[in-house]
Amino acid sequence: MIGDGWEIGPHSSRRQSGVNSPRRLSRTLDASRDFDSFMEFPKLLQRGASLKVLSPARYQQYSNAQNVRSTCQKTAWMSLGLCLSSLLLLYFLLLRRSQYVSHRQSKGYGVIIDIGQRQQSQYSSNIEARVHIFTFEDTNALTVKVLGEKPSRVLFDESSGEYDASTSFGELLVFAKELVPELERLQTRLYVLGTGGLQWAPIAKWFELLQQCRNVFRESGFQFHDDWALVVNGRDQGVYEWVAANYAHDTLKSDSADTIGVLSLGSESAQVTFIAEVTPPPAYLYKIELWGTTHELYSYNFEKLGLESASDGLLKLLHAKEVASSVGPTDNIVVVDPCQPTGFEADANYLKTPARDFLIMPTGNFTACRAESHALLHQGRDACLDSNCPIETTFVPDLRGNFIATGYFYQTSKLLEATGSLAELVVAGERYCSAGQNSKRNICFSAAYIVAFLHDSLGLPDHGNKVLFTDSVNSVPVEWTLGFFISRLSEDKAAYSPLILFEGFFGIVLLFLGLLATGSLIFWFVTRLRRPQHKTIYDLEKGRYFTTAARGR
């Protein structure tokens, strides 16, 4: 031992120049540092730092499985939520279907009150209301029956200048409640429809009456909304008569060639409605959808060509001819009227002017009346822009199929006992016009005007069964109110039909696909839980990380 404890011996020089030499020690530390980097050993903690002991391999594997299980639990909750959402969606659709069925009602009632001018006089403001009560059943096929109807005059207070809606409609509501059971009234719809003939009533008063109707019927005990009080024009009435006729004929859902056309003659206007062979121009085209079938109708309303309006128009036309052909003073002109029976006392007050009076001399000539009626129907024909204008300047396509003639067409032929054909009506009209003073006013004109309208203008044959004078088809009354109610039933069904997802074969298939999707989601959830999960392990012996797969527990 020499000096500070250095040992002198054979190995002293080796120890000093070997491992313990500064240069060798530096190389050793460098090599060790490279090896650590190569083997990716964990970094050693500095002195004083908290020591975290590495867990055994099995414990590390268990800890990783806990993480896997946590992930699986999240996936499970998400999958369960999707399953519940799918089931709730199916339940919602089933619930909506049940609500639709309850709303649609397989059977029930309906009430319609139509308001219009019944007394055909331009000097009268009397208005009549009529209530119609229907019952329907829509199971395999729609069945609608008319339970009853009742008219009532709408009272007008001359002193106040207002209509008394509460009193006028009170008895109509009492009549409706007698036919509709109390338990059904809240489900029974009530419609208020203003119709033709109201042009003689003051417009402002009419709208006041409509508003009064809304106030009264809100408290009626029936189902009513303000927009269910509306005005129906003549063209719409003709279309609704067509709906009623083809409902009774059971051709609303069949080919258009099987449908029947409707010719209707009212007091103020006439309507022609049928399905033409070619689509009519837009001005004459009326599209109506019934139970998924769209019908393209030719429909036109001939204003001022109703029976009363045409009679007045014809007298004015005859008067104008007499004035034009007269020579000299015109204050004592006599108007020859072939459309009134001989001896009939006509009222010519509407032809009076402050300067002179006019006399009418009836002659009762059916042939002459027919010719004058034809001339009335052809007024302004020269201004027609189409090659086929049989009445005034109105385009009318060829009449396809069979027709029924309703309104005054039927009433006149029934009164004259000539409902078989137009030829029978000609014979009956000639006999009636020449009968003399015991004849009723306008019957002679009505017969001649109908022949001029249907045969001379529209070209319907005077023999055969192409046109039938009637007011019913298969014992079902052809009324526009019935057609309106049927069309509303069809609209209600179309409005809610998208909610019927489980009806019929298509519904069964759709329900099966929904259940299959839910089952597939559940199966995916189960297999997801059993799917092998990846985990990372550090091998202490090999000094590296590697991944392996293990099933979640």
Q: Which of 20-24, 347-351, 481-485 has the highest mean pLDDT?
A: 481-485
Long-range contacts formed by 376-380: CB under 8 A, 24+ apart: 376/310, 376/313, 376/314, 376/317, 377/305, 377/452, 377/453, 377/456, 377/457, 378/457, 379/317
- CB atoms near residue 430 (< 10 Å): 18
User: What pLDDT band is residue 496 in, cutting at 50, 70 and 90?
Assistant: very low
What pLDDT is stored for residue 184 in this prediction?
92
Alpha-carbon distance of 73 to 392, in angstroms, equals 83
Q: Which of 48-62, 226-240, 430-444 has the highest mean pLDDT?
A: 226-240
What pLDDT is stored for residue 64 in this prediction?
47
What pLDDT is stored for residue 262 in this prediction?
98
Instruction: Select the more confidently predicted residue: 65 or 525.
Output: 525
What pLDDT is stored for residue 166 in this prediction?
74
Instruction: Return the percentage of the chain with pLDDT > 90, whole number.
Output: 37
539 pLDDT more than 50: yes
Instruction: Select the more confidently predicted residue: 58 or 136.
Output: 136
Dihedral sign for Cα 349, 352, 358, 360, please: negative
Range from 79-83, 381-385, 502-506 carrying the lowest mean pLDDT: 502-506
What pLDDT is stored for residue 53 in this prediction?
47
What pLDDT is stored for residue 305 in this prediction?
95
- The mean pLDDT of 226-231, rounded to a whole number, is 88
- The mean pLDDT of 507-536, rounded to a whole number, is 66
Range from 56-60, 88-92, 136-140, 508-512 carrying the lowest mean pLDDT: 56-60
Alpha-carbon distance of 180 to 173, in angstroms, equals 10
Q: Which tens digit of pLDDT belongs to each residue from 87-122?
A: 666 655 555 444 444 445 678 999 999 988 764 444
- The mean pLDDT of 174-195, rounded to a whole number, is 92
Alpha-carbon distance of 310 to 442, in angstroms, equals 11
Type of residue at 463: H
- The mean pLDDT of 524-539, rounded to a whole number, is 65
3-class SS shares of the chain: helix, strand, coil, % to 5: 45, 20, 35
308 pLDDT more than 70: yes
What pLDDT is stored for residue 325 in this prediction?
76
Q: Which of 307-321, 406-420, 429-443 has the highest mean pLDDT?
A: 406-420
What residues have CB less than 8 Å from 144, skipping those under 6 apart? 134, 135, 136, 247, 482, 485, 486, 489
What pLDDT is stored for residue 319 in this prediction?
85
Q: Angle CA(244)–CA(245)–CA(248) in degrees, nearest 5? A: 85
- The mean pLDDT of 356-379, rounded to a whole number, is 88
- The mean pLDDT of 156-177, rounded to a whole number, is 78
- The mean pLDDT of 392-402, rounded to a whole number, is 92
- Length of the chain in terms of residues written: 553
125 pLDDT more than 90: no
What pLDDT is stored for residue 472 in this prediction?
95
Q: What is the CATH number of domain 103-265+483-499?
A: 3.30.420.40
The rounded mean pLDDT for the chain is 76
Q: Which of 63-77, 199-213, 406-420 has the highest mean pLDDT?
A: 406-420
Alpha-carbon distance of 510 to 516, in angstroms, equals 10
Tokens of 460: 């319907």
Instruction: Select the more confidently predicted residue: 9 or 283.
Output: 283
Domain ranges of the chain: 57-100+503-551, 103-265+483-499, 307-469
Which CA distances in Å does 356 have to 209, 332, 337, 482? Answer: 39, 7, 19, 49
Instruction: Select the more confidently predicted residue: 142 or 300.
Output: 300
Q: Which fold has domain 307-469?
A: Nucleotidyltransferase; domain 5 (3.30.420)
What pLDDT is stored for residue 410 in this prediction?
97
Instruction: Select the more confidently predicted residue: 241 or 550.
Output: 241
Q: Which tens digit of pLDDT belongs to each residue from 476-495?
A: 999 999 999 999 998 876 54
What pLDDT is stored for residue 25 in this prediction?
46
Instruction: Select the more confidently predicted residue: 167 or 505.
Output: 167
137 pLDDT more than 60: yes
What pLDDT is stored for residue 254 in this prediction?
72
What pLDDT is stored for residue 343 in this prediction?
72
Q: Which tens digit of pLDDT belongs to each residue from 447-466?
A: 999 999 999 999 999 998 89
375 pLDDT more than 70: yes
Range from 9-18, 75-84, 153-162, 404-413 carrying the lowest mean pLDDT: 9-18
Q: Which tens digit of pLDDT belongs to each residue from 273-292?
A: 999 998 999 999 999 998 88
What pLDDT is stored for residue 293 in this prediction?
85
Residue for token pair 């011996």: 9
Instruction: Return the percentage of the chain with pLDDT > 70, whole number.
Output: 62
Q: Which of 1-5, 167-171, 293-297 has the highest mean pLDDT?
A: 293-297
What pLDDT is stored for residue 323 in this prediction?
79
Q: Do 458 and 464 contact (CB within 8 A), yes or no?
A: no
367 pLDDT more than 80: yes
Tell me the pTM: 0.69
412 pLDDT more than 90: yes
